[in-house]
Amino acid sequence: MKKYLNLLLVAVQNLRRYKAKSITITIPIILMMAVSSFMMFSRGGFVKDAEMAREFLPDVTIQGIEAGRVVKVSLDIIPEIKKIPHVKTVAPRVWGYIPLKIDDLDISYTLMGLELEDLPDNPEFLEVMEDGSFLVPGDRNKVVLGYGVAQTLGFRVGEDIEQALELCTISISDLKNIGDEITIDDTLGNHGKFKVIGILKNRVQVYSADLMLVSNDDARDFFGYAENEASDILLYLDENGSADRAALMISQLFKNTRVMTAKALTNLVKEAFGRRSGTFSAMWLILFSTVLMFAWSQTTHISVDAGTEIGILKSFGWQTGDIILVKMVESLLYGFLGTSIGILLGFVYALMGTPGISGYCIGCASIYPKFPVPVSCDADSIILLFLIGVIPVTLITAIPAWLAGTIDPDKAIKS
Partner 1 sequence: MISIKNVFKRYKSGKIYVKALDDISVNIEKGEFVFFSGPSGSGKSTLLNIIGCLTRVTSGSYLLEDKQVSHWPDHFLSPLRRERFGFIFQQFNLVSGYSAWENIALPLIPMGISQKERRKKALLILENLNLTTRADFMAQELSGGQQQLVAIGRALVNNPDIILADEPFSNIDARHVENFENILGNLKNQGKTIIIASHFHEPITKLVDKTFYFENGSISPKQ
Ligand X SMILES: Nc1ncnc2c1ncn2[C@@H]1O[C@H](COP(=O)(O)OP(=O)(O)OP(=O)(O)O)[C@@H](O)[C@H]1O
Q: Report if residue 406 touches partner 1, rule: CB under 8 A.
A: yes
Q: Report if residue 189 touches partner 1, rule: CB under 8 A.
A: no
The residue among 193 and 414 lying less far from ligand X, judged by its C-beta, is 414
Q: Which does 319 bind (CB under 5 to 8 A by kind): partner 1, ligand X, none?
A: partner 1
Which one of residues 213, 265, 313, 375 is an interface residue with partner 1 (CB under 8 A)? Answer: 313
Q: Which does 315 bind (CB under 5 to 8 A by kind): partner 1, ligand X, none?
A: partner 1
- Please state the closest distance from residue 408 (CB atom) to ligand X, in A: 9
Q: Which does 6 bind (CB under 5 to 8 A by kind): ligand X, partner 1, none?
A: partner 1
The residue among 279 and 319 lying less far from partner 1, judged by its C-beta, is 319
Q: Report if residue 18 touches partner 1, rule: CB under 8 A.
A: yes
Q: Which does 9 bind (CB under 5 to 8 A by kind): ligand X, partner 1, none?
A: partner 1
Q: Given phi > 0 = left and psi -120 to 50 = alpha, else beta, which region is 26? A: alpha
Stretch that binds partner 1, among 83-91, 106-114, 278-286, 314-322 (CB under 8 A): 314-322
Q: Contact 346/37 with Cβ under 8 angstroms?
A: yes
Q: Report if residue 10 touches partner 1, rule: CB under 8 A.
A: yes
Stretch that binds partner 1, among 59-67, 93-101, 283-291, 309-317 (CB under 8 A): 309-317
Q: Report if residue 316 touches partner 1, rule: CB under 8 A.
A: yes
Q: Report if residue 402 touches partner 1, rule: CB under 8 A.
A: no
Q: Report if residue 404 touches partner 1, rule: CB under 8 A.
A: no
Q: Contact 21/355 with Cβ under 8 angstroms?
A: no
The residue among 129 and 403 lying less far from ligand X, judged by its C-beta, is 403
**Sites of contact with partner 1 (CB under 8 A):** 1-3, 5-7, 9-10, 17-18, 305, 308-309, 312-322, 406, 408-411, 413
